[in-house]
Amino acid sequence: MASSLARAAGECPAFAVVDDAPELRFSEDLTITGDVLDLIDGRDSEVTGDVELREQDNVLVAQRLTLNAERDGVSLPDGAVFRNPELMVTSRSAKFNLTDESGTFFGTDFALTQQNTRGGAEVLALDSGGRIQMDGGRYTSCPPQAEAWRLDAREIKLDANEGLGTARGAVIRIADVPILYLPYFQFPIDDRRRTGLLFPTFGQSDNTGFDLSWPVYLNLGPNYDATVTPRLMSARGLQLVGDGRYLFRNSRGNLRYETLPNDTGSGADGRSRSYIDGRHEGLINERLAVDARFAEVSDQRYFEDLGGGLDLAALTHLDRSLRINYQAPGSYNLTGLIQDYQTIALNLAPEDDPFRRLPQVRFAALTPNDWRGVRAGLDSEYVYFSRSNSIEGQRIDARPYLRYETDHLSRYTIAEVDWRYTVYELTDNLAGASPRPSRSLPTVGAETGLRFDRINASGAVQTLEPRLFYLYAPFEDQTDLPLFDSGEPDFDFTQLFARNRYTGADRVSDAHHVAMAATTRLLDPASGTVRWSASVGQIYRLRAPRVALPDEPELPDNGPTDFIASTEYQLNTRLSAQAATQWSPDEETFERTQLGLRFREGLREARIAYRYRADLLEQADLAFQWPIAGGFTASHLWRYSLREHQSIDLLAGLGYEDCCWAIRAAYRRFLTGTEGRYDSGIYFQFELKGLTRLGGGFNPFQPRADVPP
């Protein structure tokens, strides 16, 4: 029986909507209607002419029906249509048992309404549990007018309760051409998790040669599972990858292990290569949390050769840490950390390695109540730093403080005075240097701000928020202190209001300056969203700082610093622009610049980005994913270094997709490490919707237009 549902633009047609079908009535009684009722003998009755049989949610429609009262059996010799909320079957003839609601249909076409799949069979048997068994069956997710693929099999079983289909003696046909024979095959008919084969991935790259991965999913329980993936690389051999994950009420975690027992690639000499990575995070109780991480790789070139991505190839260290945090709300916080690492960057000097923390203990406290706006607090830390062939030692850092804070609707004020004491216990120190250097410094800071708003001529709300921050810290010579974790961060908007020019506790910069900044926002009165925002700020140093890092190129002078500015404009719901910059008034040049333009509408995404840092990098990005005519989608990502005049990452892809199948292909070429080596590859994905995928490796490389530049 044909469907009268017209196909909407961009939508897939439903297979099992019946023309002018009467509304289903769920009744416990059996009803049979027709034009003529004949009593054949004492046991059989025949109904002819627009016959309709209803029992609960099952409906049989035919032109002739024979009913055997003793056996509760129904015969429909001249064809019938059977339907319920899950299934519709059209057949040349049928038999149905009213007792257990089972039936056998001959010469059938069927449709699974909830799965939007259809097919047919020489014989279709429906049991009382709703399971379907077909002899000489066919199965597809394509509409009748565009059958791109189908599964033909000697026997097909469909179990809606398990969400699983099973085929024996199966042949997959594309455009009526057989492409694959499978003696036994299982496939999902819904999206439930279950143990079985997942979608294989294949491609070709310079580092791995022909690359085929076929994962096996293990549904071990409702809250934990695993995936085992054999990976065959023609240039390197057979690799085995295992992924496990778990989720409990108060914790979650994952573990990944990769092993390549015999790498036959160039220069590998058959050595064994492996990688392990795991993480656990959770709550021990309502106040105590734990976060554990561990990673180890067999050699430094592992990710360059096998990782398959620019981000993995750029890793320099692998983290191994155990963090325990105790939080007493409104009172204090205690954190313990043990942190190690593995260096995987090539040609990295030992002094560039981070120090191990064995352990680090931090304690922070703040009085829960204030006295006339004043609260007392303490930030403190103990840490033991360790690194091979280097100075090592312990550090105790304590910063008690008093904070005054008041906040009104139109203005706020925050003032804080602290005293910071830091002492070390060092080993392997320089000859003649004190093994117990220390530092003691007070710091005074105060910040105030105003909040203005107005309604402009268009009815939008515009805000203006000026801020003023003063910081004073006296100078103390700190050249005898070691450098364990201090560094100079990027000069950005956050640094305008920082109490220390450096990260870490090894250096505290002297300061005598004022920071000024202002932010304005334009709010949409209907939705409350920010249509436009802009911020600008600058520090004016009343005295030039004298504390410096050993490798710091030059100290800032007194007077004004560079300007920091940023803006974001939401032109409409689809298009937005962002910009951020650092401008030097002395040099009259831009030290840093970021620009971005982003478009998103439905499946259309595009991004243009530009990044510049003086004497370091100048890069441009162009990325888009754009549907074009006839179901085709084009994807592109190009990251180019204007400074080195070379491509960093290039992806070009083209895909076609309709309601029942999809094919995609992509080419990618990217830098794999610091030595300027490139890896390039071609990746394929072929999907038969409702059955499986043959291929992959395309979607993970799609450019994401929502990632900021």
Domains and CATH numbers, the chain: 30-192 (2.60.450.10), 391-546 (no CATH), 571-709 (no CATH)
For residue 195, the tally of other CB atoms under 10 A from its CB is: 12
Could you report how far apart the first and last alpha carbons of the chain are, in Å? Answer: 54
Strands 237-247 and 251-260: antiparallel
Strand partners of residue 240 = 230, 259
Percent share of the chain, pLDDT over 70: 90
DSSP letters for 558-579: SEE--EEEEEEEE-SSSEEEEE
Place of tokens 């080195």: 644
User: Hey, which of 104-113, 308-317, 549-558 has the most confident mean pLDDT?
Assistant: 104-113
Tell me how far apart the alpha carbons of residues 203 and 668 are, in angstroms, rounded to a whole number.
11
Using only the alpha carbons of the chain, give its radius of gyration: 35
Q: Give the lowest-confidence range in 271-285, 341-355, 621-635, 682-696.
A: 682-696
398 DSSP β-pair partners: 380, 421
- Give residue 468's pLDDT: 98
* Residue range 201-227, pLDDT digits in tens: 778 888 888 888 888 889 899 899 999
Beta strands 617-627 and 589-601 are unpaired
Among 34-43, 84-93, 401-410, 521-530, where is mean pLDDT lowest?
34-43
Query: For residue 311, what pLDDT is reported?
Result: 59
249 contacts 241 by C-beta, under 8 angstroms: no
CB neighbours (10 Å) of residue 222?
8
- CA torsion angle for 478, 483, 484, 490 (degrees, to 10)? 100
- What is the rounded CA–CA span in Å between residue 179 and residue 197? 19
Higher pLDDT, 362 or 69: 362
pLDDT (tens digit per residue) in 384-437: 999 988 899 999 999 999 999 999 989 999 999 999 999 999 987 766 678 899
Q: What is the pLDDT of residues 117-167, one digit of tens each?
A: 889 999 999 888 778 999 999 999 888 888 888 899 999 998 888 888 889
**Percentages (nearest 5) of helix, strand, coil residues in the chain:** 5, 60, 35
Highest-confidence range of 158-167, 341-350, 539-548, by mean pLDDT?
Answer: 539-548
Please report the DSSP string for 599-644 in residue order. Answer: EEETTEEEEEEEEEETTTEEEEEEEEEEE-GGGEEEEEEEEEETTT
Please say if the pLDDT value at position 283 is more than 50: yes
Q: What is the spatial distance between Cα 688 and Cα 700, in angstroms, rounded to a whole number?
A: 19
Tally of CB atoms within 10 A around 380: 15
- Using alpha carbons, select from 29, 103, 99, 26 the residue that is nearest to residue 62: 103
- 303 three-state secondary structure: helix
How many C-alpha atoms does 362 have within 13 Å on its Cβ side? 15
Query: What's the CA gap between 502 and 509, in Å, rounded?
Result: 7
Return d(Cα 155, Cα 168) in angstroms, integer: 5
For 343-411, give the DSSP string.
E--TT--GGGSPPEEEEEEEEEEE-SS-BTTEEEEEEEEEEEEE-TTS-EEEEEEEEEEEEEEEE-SSE
- Whether 113 and 86 have beta carbons less than 8 Å apart is answered as yes
The answer, yes or no, to whether the previous bond of 359 is cis (omega within 30 of 0) is yes
Does pTM top 0.85 for this prediction? no
> Both tokens of residue 408?
């009104």
Question: In which band, very low, low, confident or very high, does the pLDDT at 312 lie, cut at 50, 70 and 90?
Answer: low
- Asked whether residue 664 carries a pLDDT value surpassing 80, the answer given is yes
Mean pLDDT of the chain: 86
pLDDT at 17 exceeding the cut of 70: no
DSSP code for 215: -
Hey, what are 495's tokens? 């640094």
Please name the residue that has the structure tokens 């294989």. 200
**Cα torsion angle, 61, 67, 71, 77, sign:** negative
**Which residue type is seen at 199?**
F
Task: Using the predicted structure, report yes or no on whether residue 708 has a pLDDT greater than 60.
Answer: no
Interacting residues of 22 by C-beta distance below 8 A, sequence separation 6+: 52
* pLDDT at 28 (0 to 100): 54
